Amino acid sequence: MVNSLWGMEEDLFRRFDELRRELEELFPWSGFAPAPAIRAARATFPLLNIGATEDAVYVYAFAPGIDPEKVELTMEGNVLTISGERELGERESEGRTVYLQERYRGPFRRVVTLPEEVDPERVSATYKNGVLLVQILKKGAKQPKKIQVQVA
């Protein structure tokens, strides 16, 4: 009887994994992430997308409504920290009752461990249309080499 219970449990988890993969193939935009992925809490701010090319790692922080002058970025080794404070345009006034407030306000801090090959000395950041883009070049990233043509 123990064998059948173990077999059932193993088959059940295998089937759930197959179902998750099928849903991901059918609805790739739906966010059915692979099992090891850690999903951010709904109130996490700012939301991040992280990707890489051969030469650099890109971190997109979706942060509408923040003052870019109040954002602090630090790199320590391969760890990027994004912190600051987000304020609402309107302050609550006396006599006003707030029934629902979904927009986050207050201090925030996101800490991201990036691949080991990033170069913490070669980081740039831009803020445009509510998106903070942080570009970190990789160590030994191929840079075009200018070759001088010699006249013989």
> What would the 3-class secondary structure string for the chain be?
CHHHHHHHHHHHHHHHHHHHHHHHHHCCCCCCCCCCCCCCCCCCCCEEEEEECCCEEEEEEECCCCCHHHCEEEEECCEEEEEEEECCCCCCCCCCCCCCCCCCCEEEEEEEECCCCEEEEEEEEEEECCEEEEEEEECCCCCCCCCCCCCC
| pLDDT tops 60 at residue 138 | yes
Name the maximum alpha-carbon separation found in the chain.
88
The confidence band for 36, taking pLDDT boundaries of 50, 70 and 90, is very low
The pLDDT of residue 89: 59
CA angle 116, 118, 123 (to 5 degrees): 150
| pLDDT tops 50 at residue 37 | no
The pLDDT of residue 80: 95
Q: pTM for this structure?
A: 0.61
| pLDDT tops 50 at residue 103 | yes
Per the model's pLDDT, the better-predicted residue between 79 and 102 turns out to be 79
CA distance 152 to 149: 9
**Percent of the residues in the chain that have a pLDDT greater than 90, as a whole number:** 39
Q: In this structure, what are the phi and psi dihedrals at residue 91, rounded to the nearest 5 degrees?
A: -90, 150
Mean of pLDDT over the chain: 78
The pLDDT of residue 71: 92
**Percent of the residues in the chain that have a pLDDT greater than 70, as a whole number:** 72
The confidence band for 2, taking pLDDT boundaries of 50, 70 and 90, is very low
The pLDDT of residue 3: 47
The confidence band for 95, taking pLDDT boundaries of 50, 70 and 90, is confident
